[in-house]
Chain A
Amino acid sequence: MSKLTVKICMGTTCFVMGASDLQDLQELIPERFGDDVEVTGVTCLDYCSSCSESQAPYVMVGEEVVNKATVEKVMEIIDGKLKNGQE
């Protein structure tokens, strides 16, 4: 099973809409999932400009786009993916 990647958008809209609250994921994810999941920032996922109504902040968990992301929501999705053996 390859490593699951979590990408947190650090662009302007996402940062203002709450990505700054997602920074705890950098510690929480390794604590809970160890080396199975890798967390990284990205300069911009570019979803804010492509959707008519912004659902920022955005996080990518594997290939899945998580909108209006919160720490709980992201952790839940990672959990689900690892349980199902996806990615």
Chain B
Amino acid sequence: MFIDINCAQEKKYNQNTYGDYFLSRRYPDTGTLIAVLSDGLGSGIKANILATMTATMLLKFVEAGADIKTACEVIMNSLPVCQVRKISYSTFSVAHCSEDGEVRIVEEGNPQFVYISDGVVVEPEFTVIDSDTFKNRHMHIYKLQLKLGDRLIFCSDGVTQAGLGSPDLKLGLRRSGLIKYLLEKIKENPDVSSSELSKFVVRAALNTEPDRKAKDDTSCCVIYYREPRRALIFTGPPYHQEKDSEYAHEFFNSKAKKAICGGTTANLISRELNIPVRCNNVRSVGKLPAVSQMDGVDLVTEGILTLTKTVEYLENGFNESEKNAAYDLMQFLLSSDCIEFMVGAKLNQAHYDPNLPIEIEIRKNIIKKMAKILEDKYIKRVTVRYI
């Protein structure tokens, strides 16, 4: 199963920064993922620092091999109390998820998460651990076994308390109001992504406020177990030409969404499978050759220049006026969960001609860089195969 995770946030009205902090990391080697949502005391910079510290410490702790329960217990017992308000510096929720569906959750102070399975809310059992040092602190520990289609929704109290004190909702949206919205949305769109659902919840919370301004930092994190969306990218001709046909067929028969990056690669697949490539637009778009078309392939682009530009966009964001082939490739990659690159190892000597006006990067290096960004920044599962 693939774990689709996303978090949407809105900062408190009139503040410059978020007082909630969300952090998540995927570990492809073990097929696990850790997500932390922390709510810092107050709002603005102070809250941001407190929440960031709590979330980062928790993640580092678990990463270093500490048991999630132990890590949370240490944090719970050591978080200071505000001298003025006599309440904790921050609250948190941590989820340690495995791709086989096993999930361990620890909550301290945040609203209780919502577990939705088959369109129904499940209220799982939990154990309570009291803090040794602070009598009003205790954490809830859950151990769950999720299945395909199940979702977990975590929120900061900005969501459950949205609209607090308003004439219609004196006690705010509360968990029951949140559940109502969630079930309605899932009924309307059972495959709704984590990104869309988390944004929907934050929007719904804002709409609950009479003036639509967030009274507190508002965050929603959704974890959704689903079938992964797979993408396959073929770039560069294989090192052994006699294997062209084998690789072309393998590529074409894959059930994943497909992209070809490279003119020679597109020709090779076209030749081996007898499918024409159409290149109707010779006019370059945004300083890159325009995309081509091939039946059965979702995207066909030029190679090195487009890949290099895509890495730039993935790293720094797209901020150009024209949507070019690199933008299309970026969208293609970001709309997938599991991305496989088939990288042909044959070099085109012409690319390294010193007379070329620009330096052309080696394909292998670009893909390596792209894979790292996709894994680290976009939490994608990436495999690279050199052929």
Within 8 A of A (CB), among B300-316: 300, 302-305
Task: Provide the residues of chain A in CB contact with B303, threshold 8 Å.
Answer: 11-12
Within 8 A of A (CB), among B329-378: 348-351, 353, 355-358, 360
Task: Provide the residues of chain A in CB contact with B358, threshold 8 Å.
Answer: 16
Question: B357: nearest residue on chain A (CB-CB)?
Answer: A16
CB B324 to nearest CB in A, in angstroms, measures 12
How many residue pairs, one in A and one in B, have C-beta atoms under 8 Å apart?
Answer: 92
**Interface residue from B267, B292, B304, B360 paired with A41 (Cβ < 8 Å):** B292
Cα separation A38 to B49 with both chains bound (whole Å)? 63
Let me know if B267 and A46 touch, CB within 8 A: yes
Answer whether residue B279 sits at the interface, using C-beta atoms and an 8 A cutoff.
yes
Let me know if B279 and A10 touch, CB within 8 A: yes
Answer whether residue A39 sits at the interface, using C-beta atoms and an 8 A cutoff.
yes
Let me know if A49 and B349 touch, CB within 8 A: yes
Within 8 A of B (CB), among A22-49: 22-23, 25-26, 39-44, 46, 48-49
Task: Provide the residues of chain A in CB contact with B305, threshold 8 Å.
Answer: 12, 15-16
Task: Provide the residues of chain A in CB contact with B300, threshold 8 Å.
Answer: 43
**Per-position binary interface string of chain A over residues 67-86, scored 1 when its CB falls under 8 Å from any chain B CB and 0 otherwise:** 00000000000000000000
Using a CB–CB distance below 8 Å, which chain A residues touch chain B? Answer: 8-13, 15-17, 19-20, 22-23, 25-26, 39-44, 46, 48-49, 51, 53-54, 56
Given contacts A10-B290, A43-B277, A49-B348, contact A15 B284 (CB under 8 A): yes
Given contacts A12-B263, A41-B292, contact A23 B283 (CB under 8 A): yes
Answer whether residue B280 sits at the interface, using C-beta atoms and an 8 A cutoff.
yes
Beyond A16-B305, A40-B279, A41-B292, 9 additional contacts (C-beta under 8 Å) are A9-B263, A11-B263, A12-B262, A12-B351, A23-B282, A41-B281, A42-B263, A43-B302, A44-B267
Chain B residues with a Cβ closer than 8 Å to the other chain, count: 31
Let me know if A48 and B289 touch, CB within 8 A: no
Let me know if B263 and A44 touch, CB within 8 A: yes
Task: Provide the residues of chain A in CB contact with B304, threshold 8 Å.
Answer: 12
Using a CB–CB distance below 8 Å, which chain B residues touch chain A? Answer: 262-264, 266-267, 277, 279-284, 287, 289-290, 292, 300, 302-305, 348-351, 353, 355-358, 360
Let me know if B283 and A26 touch, CB within 8 A: yes
Cα separation A22 to B287 with both chains bound (whole Å)? 13
Give the one of B279, B280, B305 with max A CB within 10 A. Answer: B279
Task: Provide the residues of chain A in CB contact with B289, threshold 8 Å.
Answer: 10, 15, 19-20, 41
Task: Provide the residues of chain A in CB contact with B281, threshold 8 Å.
Answer: 41
Let me know if B282 and A22 touch, CB within 8 A: yes
Let me know if B267 and A43 touch, CB within 8 A: yes
Given contacts A11-B263, A11-B302, A54-B350, contact A39 B357 (CB under 8 A): no
Task: Provide the residues of chain B in CB contact with A10, threshold 8 Å.
Answer: 263, 279, 282, 289-290, 292, 302
Let me know if A12 and B302 touch, CB within 8 A: yes
CB A55 to nearest CB in B, in angstroms, measures 10
Cα separation A54 to B264 with both chains bound (whole Å)? 16
Cα separation A44 to B305 with both chains bound (whole Å)? 14
CB A7 to nearest CB in B, in angstroms, measures 9
Given contacts A16-B358, A43-B300, contact A8 B350 (CB under 8 A): no
Task: Provide the residues of chain B in CB contact with A49, threshold 8 Å.
Answer: 264, 348-350
CB A9 to nearest CB in B, in angstroms, measures 8
**Interface residue from B264, B282, B353 paired with A11 (Cβ < 8 Å):** B264
Selected A-B contacts with CB under 8 Å, 16 pairs: A10-B289, A10-B290, A11-B303, A12-B304, A12-B351, A12-B360, A13-B351, A15-B305, A16-B360, A17-B357, A26-B283, A40-B282, A42-B277, A48-B350, A54-B350, A54-B355
Task: Provide the residues of chain B in CB contact with A8, threshold 8 Å.
Answer: 282
Task: Provide the residues of chain A in CB contact with B267, threshold 8 Å.
Answer: 43-44, 46
CB B317 to nearest CB in A, in angstroms, measures 24
CB B233 to nearest CB in A, in angstroms, measures 16
Given contacts A11-B302, A12-B304, contact A44 B284 (CB under 8 A): no
Give the one of A12, A17, A42 with max B CB within 10 A. Answer: A12
Question: B263: nearest residue on chain A (CB-CB)?
Answer: A44
Let me know if B348 and A13 touch, CB within 8 A: yes
